[in-house]
Structure 1
Amino acid sequence: MRTAIYGALMTSVIALSLTACTTDERRTAGYGVGGAAVGALAGGAIGGNARGALTGAAIGAAAGTLVGVAQTRNGVQYCRYRDHNGRVFEARCR
């Protein structure tokens, strides 16, 4: 069981490193892979079996993809910044 979890974790780390600073679609996929890895770890720890890990991976992948999609608007990535008065605003990432 640990070997499978470590394998999934290493795969997600490699996938996330390959998607850094690339197109929005790949970035969104990276969020999905990261969510799947975290979900698999949590599901395996809570459920104690492979079924729990698979369920957690599915839920985590869906949640991660939704977070990735929320980071973009019409294909443009937006980031949060603070101005000199401390107010938070969103603008295109630099």
Structure 2
Amino acid sequence: MRTMKLGILLAAGLGLSACGDLNPTQQRTATGALGGGAVGGILGSFSGNAGLGALLGAGVGGAGGYLYDQSQRSQQQYYQQQYRQPRGRGPYRDRGW
């Protein structure tokens, strides 16, 4: 029993260490899948099939995380385009500021 607990702990540690160098899209998708899987597992346990609920929840959560990331990226690009001021223009260009 002790060996099994140690194996599970080692597998969890290796799984978490693989998430160290993810880009923002991968982080948001993984976070959505993890949260969706947890909620789906809890809700699925009420109907007697926690595994299926966790699987469906992870899929929906991952898709939701990806869509959220795309929304954030487009919003960021919009703000960058709106508030970017071309060089040499503006009220203080003649004063050297």
TM normalised by structure 1 equals 0.56
Q: Distance in 2 between matches of 1:58 and 1:11?
A: 19
Structure 1 residue 78 corresponds to structure 2 residue 66: no
How far is 1:11 from its partner? Answer: 4.3
When the two chains are superposed, the root-mean-square deviation of aligned CA atoms in Å is 2.8
2:21 paired residue number = 18
Q: Deviations over 1:54-93 (max 9, x none)?
A: 00000000000000111113xxx729xxxxxxxxxx734x
1:35–1:67 CA distance, 2 compared to 1 (3 A): same
Larger helix fraction of residues:
2
Structure 1: where are the runs of 5+ without partners? 20-25, 80-89
> Segments of 4+ in structure 1 off by > 4 A?
10-14
Q: Does 1:31 align with 2:34?
A: no
Aligned partner of 2:92 in structure 1 is: none
Decide whether the 8 Å contact of 1:39 with 1:59 is kept in 2.
yes
Instruction: Work out the percentage of aligned pairs sharing the same amino acid.
Output: 28
Structure 2 match to 1:45: 42
Secondary structure at 1:68 match in 2: helix
Distance 1:39 1:11, change over 3 A: farther
Q: Are the equivalent residues in 2 in contact too, given 1:43–1:55 (CA < 8 A)?
A: yes
Structure 2, gaps ≥5 residues long: 1-7, 81-97
- Count of residue correspondences: 65
Question: Could you give the per-residue CA deviations for residues 4-61 of structure 1, whole angstroms, max 9, x where no partner exists?
Answer: xxx5xx946862x433xxxxxx211211100000000000011111000000000000
TM-score (normalizing by structure 2):
0.54
Is 1:40–1:55's contact at 8 Å kept on the other side of the alignment?
Answer: yes
